[in-house]
């Protein structure tokens, strides 16, 4: 049986109190639903002297819209609530779909959107017990100096595996953060860095308060496609988020495709707007452009052997999922996954 290392547990009731408790203890960490952090602590990937639980901070929960039409989701809102919310389904369908496919029902009840955005990167050589990692000689993400995925590699390439992240990128979301020096907001597009050891621009003493999604245009469509081993619970082997905005005549005005679970940060597929702009779903021209976008995505994506699932297989599934997810978005359907 894996035991948790010893730690002090603090249970603040306000954001201000949480920020103070975090700042005053070097190495302290926040815990939201604990569905990722607790297993990681059992694997001794993290051994914080103090955990600051956000469970009682009520101001961090809930979903609402602002006067400017933007959608605001508190960081402590559960994945199940995000997935079931009519507001989210209407305003940000791809996000609702992604949240509905994260882990299994119990984990979606405990797990939060904030914890998902800030999920640690994953690697088959890292998400293992201390004993297992020690037997291998560790790796540079934790306790060691080498990379087992890229021999001789100088950078960790553990995979961003949070299903919400690519959808929030297509939606142009903003992250509202707060730390000892006050609040700041950052576009999610600028939040990630290509470093699997720590792939986010969040200081260790900062807290994510809310996720803000700007009001989408009337013709907004979105969908999420997820490849995974077991349809009922697994992390993504590949995640594809699609945004498709149609103009008043039903033609494509804007398109965005972001792919995840390949490398340390989600990847935007470039040059797809040129292919799809002006085409109308349901026409041969649209179908042809979708096929070209899928081929382009295949060219631009080169998964590594960082997470389970053969890298060549995952690469071949990129165009399949891009194509299916684009068609699902055009039909106002989704998510795309196997069961």
Ligand X SMILES: Cc1cc2nc3c(=O)[nH]c(=O)nc-3n(C[C@H](O)[C@H](O)[C@H](O)COP(=O)(O)OP(=O)(O)OC[C@H]3O[C@@H](n4cnc5c(N)ncnc54)[C@H](O)[C@@H]3O)c2cc1C
Smallest separation (angstroms) from ligand SF4 to the CB of 264: 8
Task: Report the C-alpha gap between 286 and 73 in whole angstroms.
Answer: 34
Matching residue, tokens 């890229």: 150
How far from the centroid of its chain's Cα atoms is residue 320's Cα?
Answer: 21
Q: Does 223 bind ligand X (CB under 6 A)?
A: no
CA distance 204 to 193: 15
CA contacts within 13 A on the Cβ side of 298? 14
By beta-carbon proximity to ligand X, the closer residue of 261 and 290 is 261
Binding partner selected for residue 139 from ligand X, ligand SF4, none, CB under the kind-specific 5 to 8 Å limit:
ligand SF4
Is 148 a binder of ligand SF4 (CB under 6 A)? yes
Residue 235 binds ligand X, judged by CB under 6 A: yes
**158: left (phi > 0), else alpha (psi -120 to 50), else beta?**
beta
Query: Smallest distance, Å, CB 107 to ligand X?
Result: 4
| Rounded least distance, CB 179 to ligand X, Å | 10
Applying CB under 6 A, does 225 fall inside the site for ligand X? Answer: no
Interface residue with ligand X among 114, 266, 281, 309 (CB under 6 A) is 114
Residues 6+ apart with CB under 8 A from 182: none
**CB-based closest residue to ligand X:** 115
Q: Does 321 bind ligand SF4 (CB under 6 A)?
A: no
Token representation of residue 113: 């959107």
43 binds ligand SF4 (CB under 6 A): no
Q: How far is the CB of 102 from ligand X (least distance, A)?
A: 4
Q: Report the alpha-carbon distance of residue 97 to residue 102 in Å, rounded.
A: 9
Residue 33, contacted partner among ligand SF4, ligand X, none, CB below 5-8 A by kind? ligand X
DSSP string, 178-209: EETTEEEEEEGGGTB-S-TTS-B---TT-EEE
Return the residue matching tokens 């590594």.
304
Ordered alpha helix ranges (H), 85-160: 86-91, 93-100, 105-110, 113-117, 130-136
Q: Which does 126 bind (CB under 5 to 8 A by kind): ligand X, ligand SF4, none?
A: ligand SF4
Angle at 158 between CA 236 and CA 180, to 5 degrees: 100
State the Cα–Cα distance between residues 116 and 308, nearest whole angstrom. Answer: 20
Q: From ligand SF4, ligand X, none, which one binds at residue 31 (CB under 5 to 8 Å depending on kind)?
A: ligand X
Query: Contact between 141 and ligand SF4 (CB under 6 A)?
Result: yes
Residue 55 sits in the site that holds ligand X (CB under 6 A): no
Q: Smallest distance from the beta carbon of 15 to ligand X, in angstroms?
A: 9
Among 112, 121, 127, 167, binds ligand X (CB under 6 A): 112
> What is the residue whose two structure tokens read 């730390």?
179
For strands 252-260 and 238-246, give the pairing: antiparallel
Question: Which one of 28, 83, 96, 115 is in contact with ligand X (CB under 6 A)?
Answer: 115
Query: Mask: binding to ligand X, 274-313, rule CB under 6 A, as x and -?
Result: ----------------------------------------
Q: CB 217 → ligand X: shortest distance, Å?
A: 28
């Amino acid at each position: 049986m894996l035991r948790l290392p010893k730690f002090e547990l603090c249970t603040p009731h306000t954001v201000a109190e949480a920020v103070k408790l975090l700042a005053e203890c070097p190495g302290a960490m926040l815990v939201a639903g604990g569905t990722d952090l607790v297993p990681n602590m059992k694997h001794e990937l993290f051994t914080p002297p103090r955990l600051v639980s956000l469970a009682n901070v009520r101001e961090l929960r809930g979903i609402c819209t602002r006067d400017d039409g933007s959608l605001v989701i508190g960081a402590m809102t559960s994945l199940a609530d995000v997935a079931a919310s009519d507001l989210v389904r209407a305003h940000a369908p791809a996000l609702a779909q992604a949240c509905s496919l994260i882990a299994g029902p119990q984990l979606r009840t405990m797990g939060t959107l904030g914890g998902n955005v800030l999920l640690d990167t994953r690697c088959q050589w890292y998400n293992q017990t201390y004993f297992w990692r020690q037997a291998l000689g560790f790796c540079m993400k934790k306790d060691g100096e080498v990379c087992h995925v890229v021999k001789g590699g100088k950078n960790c390439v553990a995979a961003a595996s949070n299903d919400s992240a690519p959808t929030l990128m297509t939606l142009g979301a903003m992250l509202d953060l707060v730390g000892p020096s006050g609040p700041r907001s950052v576009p999610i597009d600028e939040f990630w860095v290509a470093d699997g050891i720590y792939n986010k621009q969040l200081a260790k003493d900062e807290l994510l308060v809310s996720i803000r999604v700007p009001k989408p245009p009337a013709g907004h469509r979105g969908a999420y496609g997820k490849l995974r081993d077991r349809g009922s619970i697994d992390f993504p082997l590949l995640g594809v988020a699609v945004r498709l905005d149609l103009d008043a005549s039903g033609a494509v005005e804007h398109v965005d495709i972001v792919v995840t679970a390949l490398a340390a940060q989600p990847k935007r597929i470039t040059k797809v707007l040129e292919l799809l702009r002006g085409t109308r779903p349901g026409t041969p021209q649209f179908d042809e452009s979708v096929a070209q976008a899928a081929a382009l995505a295949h060219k631009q994506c080169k998964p590594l052997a960082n997470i389970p699932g053969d890298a060549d297989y995952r690469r071949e599934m990129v165009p399949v999922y891009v194509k299916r997810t684009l068609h699902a978005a055009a039909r106002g359907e989704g998510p795309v996954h196997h069961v």
